[in-house]
């Protein structure tokens, strides 16, 4: 076996440029596969992480009849006495934070411009709001007793031409099906780096949200974050009751999970195309090597080398090309993944309905993807050498010595 690899290394060295370019093509193919796999992982992980922190939490506790899509404000669809329910949930050991939130639909108007928004009533003191506090660009955070202040997203502020301190009119649906209108002041402008969320969400203190929507002492949901996401199922089971329904982050982000599965299916097809192109380069290299060494192959066969050993020699050459290409691919792919892990890819406001994509997509390299794609690349390279190896092994010694004529 060692002798075969010595011969294979010598044979590849006969045309170093061609061998290098073949290995480089293999390396470029692998690096593209690694980059695509890490970007897809980063995109889905980022969307899921954003959704959990900003929108769904790990768990949400709502009334049995609450319809999230309809943003119901009927008292029978809301959680009564949310402070008591929140305290009971927060007492559980796996719970990091629990806080009530009230959702309502409204229209924000400034001058001649207006747009629909989702009003979120929050407890300003809750640590669950940290992502919004960290993203406060200017102005000040809300106070619990503020009755005329709101926070708006940067994307919404840019759309309506608003700045901190500006006054707006807000039309809000109420629990009795009517519409209330009140003036508010923009206390601050925040960004979550998620334009789809920022341009459609405004915040006000829970007490004010309850007052303007006429849902006194009620909340739409209890937003729950856990210390360990793995505890979601156990905590959900512990919170089950006949009065409330408990939704997990998997249920609330089913679209993200489905989209990831669909994206992985399409990426698998793209992987196959890239590997097929790479395999074509290896096949071409090996076939050229066979025809250039026809007389040599004839001599080897004439002195007793069996067809199986001739095939093994070409497989050894192919494996050396594979190892060289994989090393190049890991170096090049590693550099690309490192760049996109730190700097990301700016996509701006390209959010999809139901999926919170940030303005930048960051790569998320995974060891299992790197190992799997490297092994697949090695196997594909060996398979690409099958036809050239068979071609060499089946040559008749006499014809080969005559140059294949």
- Strand pairing partners for 97? 225
Tell me how far CA of residue 359 lies from CA of 19, 135, 342, in angstroms: 42, 14, 14
Task: Say if CB 184 and CB 150 are below 8 A apart.
Answer: yes
Where are the strands (E) in 87-174, listed by range?
95-110, 113-122, 136-139, 149-153, 167-173
Question: What pLDDT, on the 0 to 100 scale, is given for residue 352?
Answer: 52
Rounded to 5 degrees, what are φ and ψ at 359? Answer: -75, -15
- Tens of pLDDT, residue by residue over 244-303, are 999 999 888 877 777 777 777 777 787 888 888 888 888 888 887 777 777 777 777 677
- Tens of pLDDT, residue by residue over 21-31, are 888 989 999 99
- Rounded CA separation 405/213 (Å): 91
Task: Say if CB 401 and CB 81 are below 8 A apart.
Answer: no
Nearest to 22 by CA among 269, 273, 320: 320
Q: How confident is residue 70, by pLDDT bands cut at 50, 70 and 90?
A: low
Nearest to 219 by CA among 66, 58, 56, 87: 66
Residue 171: pLDDT over 90? yes
Read off the DSSP letter of residue 355. Answer: B
Residue 396: pLDDT over 70? no
Residue 359: pLDDT over 80? no
Question: What pLDDT, on the 0 to 100 scale, is given for residue 1?
Answer: 67
Mean pLDDT of the chain, nearest integer: 86
- Tens of pLDDT, residue by residue over 184-223, are 999 999 999 888 888 889 999 999 999 999 999 999 999 9
């Amino acid at each position: 076996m060692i002798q075969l690899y010595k011969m294979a290394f010598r044979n590849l060295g006969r045309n170093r440029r061609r061998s290098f370019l073949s290995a480089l093509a293999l390396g470029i193919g692998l690096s593209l596969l690694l980059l695509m796999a890490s970007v897809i992982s980063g995109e889905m992980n980022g969307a899921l992480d954003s959704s959990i922190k900003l929108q769904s939490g790990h768990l949400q506790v709502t009334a049995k009849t609450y319809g999230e899509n309809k943003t119901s404000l009927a008292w029978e669809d809301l959680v009564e006495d949310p402070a008591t329910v929140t305290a009971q949930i927060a007492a559980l050991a796996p719970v990091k934070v629990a806080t009530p939130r009230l959702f309502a639909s409204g229209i924000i108007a400034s001058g001649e411009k207006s747009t629909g928004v989702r009003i979120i009533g929050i407890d300003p003191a809750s640590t669950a709001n940290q992502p919004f506090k960290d993203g406060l660009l200017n102005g000040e955070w809300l106070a619990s007793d503020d009755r005329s202040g709101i926070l708006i997203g940067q994307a919404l502020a840019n759309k309506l031409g608003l700045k901190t301190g500006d006054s707006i009119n807000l039309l809000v649906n109420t629990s009795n099906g009517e519409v209330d209108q009140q003036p508010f002041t923009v206390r601050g402008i925040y960004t979550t780096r998620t334009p789809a969320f920022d341009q459609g969400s405004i915040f006000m203190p829970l007490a004010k949200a309850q007052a303007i929507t006429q849902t006194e002492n009620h909340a739409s949901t209890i937003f729950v974050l856990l210390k360990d996401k793995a505890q979601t199922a156990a905590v959900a089971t512990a919170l089950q009751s006949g009065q409330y329904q408990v939704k997990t982050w998997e249920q609330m982000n089913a679209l993200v999970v489905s989209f990831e599965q669909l994206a992985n299916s399409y990426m698998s097809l793209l992987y196959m195309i890239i590997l097929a192109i790479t395999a074509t380069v290896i096949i071409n290299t090996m076939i050229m090597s066979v025809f250039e060494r026809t007389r040599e192959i004839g001599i080897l066969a004439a002195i007793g080398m069996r067809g199986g050993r001739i095939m093994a020699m070409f497989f050894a050459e192919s494996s050396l090309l594979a190892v060289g290409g994989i090393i190049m691919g890991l170096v090049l792919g590693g550099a690309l993944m490192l760049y996109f892990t730190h700097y990301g890819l700016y996509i701006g406001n390209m959010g999809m309905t139901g999926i919170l994509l940030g303005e930048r997509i960051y790569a998320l390299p995974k060891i299992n993807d790197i190992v799997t794609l490297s092994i697949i690349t090695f196997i594909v390279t060996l398979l690409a050498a099958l036809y050239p190896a068979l071609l060499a092994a089946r040559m008749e010694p006499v014809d080969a010595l005559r140059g294949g004529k």
